Amino acid sequence: MNNNINKLIITRKENRIYYGYFCDGQPVELYCETADSQDSTLLGNIYAARVERVAEGIGGAFLEIGPGQKCYYPLPKDGSKPVKLSPGHEDKLYGGDIILVQISKDAVKSKLPVADGNISFAGKYFVLTLSDRRFGISKKITDGEERKRLKKIVAYHYNNLLNNRCAPDVDESGYLDIWDMDDLAVEGTSCIDMMQKRQFGLIVRTNAAGASEEELIKELTQLTSRCSRLLKKASTAPGKTCIYRTPDHYISMAADLPKQELGEILTDDPEIYKDLRDYYSSIGDETIEGKLRLYEDQYPLHKLYCLKTHYERALNKHVWLPSGGSLVIEQTEAMVVIDVNTGSVTKKKRQNDDLFYQINCEAAEEIGRQLRLRNLSGIIVIDFINMRYIDQQQKLLKKLQEVCSKDRVRTRVIDITALNLVEMTRQKVRRPLHEQCSEIPVT
């Protein structure tokens, strides 16, 4: 076993699939799904949804997406409108309207799934968006020459960028550098006509850095073609119909990981191996398809990677730090609360500010890892060990920001409150690990 290669490990236990992304032999992300995950997650699915009722008092609407299935749709505050599939009522949303939506957040406890009218089609290098007309490039691509190359390719594909100006940092997330579709000359090509009529936008993903022009243009063509087929299907679909169902996350996950980091996809299940091979063959991703391997050794794969131990630790609220300190991670109804304790450290060493700062820095590193490992999200409050000096507090915040910048999910470190509590947020996408797992896997 080569621990220096980053791997996606996938195994099956009875009717559950356990999988994780491992870096240097240690898990970075862990997940658990039922074998028929269509019953457990709707994330990414696209529906012709029927508006049950509009609740203007809370700025949203309740939609029916299937027999006995409902979701919540926040009314856009920027004035954008969803794609309406039913005639009439173009100016406003009314009960009985049929609109095209995509599930952006899974159901959490008693809360309904959340839908978005800005339909997106994600590829390895691009994300095509239906309602948002802006074009953007990931700010994680820092090389100036590479950014220029990618903009040139996109501009050429869409038949000349009239002027090369960009709106300065209009995306609040800090992930995108945006330029507007009004800067594009739309001439000739069918996908351009489609984008102009349907108001499409495009996001250039981090994975696009270093990709050949041929690969990029091939995926752009595939995405626009897929989008065109879906719109044609949606135009004749009745309400409460699923138009597109996303592949299981364990199948599509490898395409979302940085291509230069993922070294191998390893599974011991022949059926999963076939599904993975068919999926990546269908999207024409030969790079990932070449990293796929069926594990056939006699020693069980789950024991080779100590999955049971890793899941048990990830579901335990206590986390020990190398110095002897510890974290206590509590998931409440409203937020995630993390307490940093000195543990046995202060019994052996004199208590001083430098020692507390050292433990806090160690805790910040581990907190960033645990949030991603457990997929904890929403409001997060951290009670670090109190430090008297402001410069140490600011260094700690910077340290936490650096750690969280490695997360694939959008994470923001806000500030330290008057009570010396650090506030941060992490975008809610999938359910946290403790909700995914009803039992500890593989014995």
Q: Note the pLDDT tens digit of each residue in 411-433.
A: 999 999 888 899 999 998 888 99
Residue 355, classed as helix, strand or coil, is helix
Q: Note the pLDDT tens digit of each residue in 365-409.
A: 999 999 999 999 999 999 999 888 889 999 999 999 999 998 989
Q: Compute the mean pLDDT over every residue in the chain, rounded to the nearest whole number.
A: 83
pTM for the predicted model, two decimal places: 0.77
Does residue 79 have a pLDDT over 90? no
Task: Assign a CATH topology to domain 6-39+246-308.
Answer: Nucleotidyltransferase; domain 5 (3.30.420)
> Considering the domain 317-435 in this protein, what is its CATH number?
3.40.630
Are the C-beta atoms of residues 118 and 227 closer than 8 Å to each other? Answer: no
pLDDT at site 183: 39
- Backbone phi, then psi, for 435, in 5-degree steps? -85, -25
Calculate the alpha carbon distances from 170 to 76, 151, 166, 174, 179 in Å: 17, 17, 9, 8, 9
Closest CA to 114 of 57, 53, 43: 43
Structure tokens at 336: 């995630």
Task: Assign a CATH topology to domain 120-234.
Answer: Ribosomal Protein S5; domain 2 (3.30.230)
Q: Note the pLDDT tens digit of each residue in 43-53.
A: 889 999 999 99
Does residue 173 have a pLDDT over 50? no
pLDDT at site 345: 63
Break the chain into its structural domains and give their ranges: 6-39+246-308, 46-117, 120-234, 317-435
Calculate the alpha carbon distances from 110 to 367, 399, 437 in Å: 27, 35, 18
pLDDT at site 180: 41
Closest CA to 32 of 308, 340, 300, 217: 308
pLDDT at site 193: 43
* Other beta carbons within 10 Å of 425: 15
Residues 365 and 370: their CA atoms lie apart, in Å, by 9
Q: Note the pLDDT tens digit of each residue in 175-199.
A: 344 444 333 333 333 343 444 444 5
Are the C-beta atoms of residues 84 and 190 closer than 8 Å to each other? Answer: no
| Between 401 and 162, residue with greater pLDDT | 401
Residues 430 and 437: their CA atoms lie apart, in Å, by 13
Share of the chain above pLDDT 70, in %: 85
b/e sequence 366-404, b meaning 16+ C-beta within 10 Å:
bbbbbbbbbbbbeebbbebbebeeeebbebbbebbeebb
b/e sequence 248-257, b meaning 16+ C-beta within 10 Å:
bbbbbbbbeb
Residues 52 and 161: their CA atoms lie apart, in Å, by 43
Residues 226 and 205: their CA atoms lie apart, in Å, by 18
Residues 334 and 328: their CA atoms lie apart, in Å, by 17
Q: Note the pLDDT tens digit of each residue in 89-137.
A: 677 888 999 999 999 988 877 789 999 998 988 888 898 888 777 788 8
Calculate the alpha carbon distances from 201 to 91, 194, 273 in Å: 22, 11, 34
| Between 391 and 285, residue with greater pLDDT | 391
Are the C-beta atoms of residues 259 and 207 closer than 8 Å to each other? Answer: yes
Q: pLDDT grade, residue 169 (50/70/90)?
A: very low
List the alpha helices (DSSP H) in 110-157: 144-157
- Mean pLDDT within 285-293: 84
Q: Which of 151-160, 207-216, 310-319 has the highest mean pLDDT?
A: 310-319
> Considering the domain 46-117 in this protein, what is its CATH number?
2.40.50.140
Closest CA to 235 of 420, 402, 100: 100
Does residue 40 have a pLDDT over 70? no
Structure tokens at 228: 């065109």
How far is Cα of residue 17 from the mean position of the Cα atoms in its chain? 19
Share of the chain above pLDDT 90, in %: 41
Calculate the alpha carbon distances from 340 to 27, 314, 360, 384, 424 in Å: 22, 17, 7, 5, 15
Residues 175 and 124: their CA atoms lie apart, in Å, by 17
pLDDT at site 105: 87
Q: 207: which DSSP letter?
A: G
Residues 168 and 74: their CA atoms lie apart, in Å, by 27
Does residue 165 have a pLDDT over 50? no
Calculate the alpha carbon distances from 317 to 314, 371, 423 in Å: 8, 12, 19
pLDDT at site 2: 63
Q: pLDDT grade, residue 76 (50/70/90)?
A: confident
Strand blocks (E) in 270-332: 292-294, 318-320, 326-331
Does residue 223 have a pLDDT over 90? no
- Mean pLDDT within 139-159: 82
First to last CA, the chain: 20
Structure tokens at 48: 């012709």
pLDDT at site 320: 93
Structure tokens at 158: 């869409």
- Backbone phi, then psi, for 100, in 5-degree steps? -95, 125
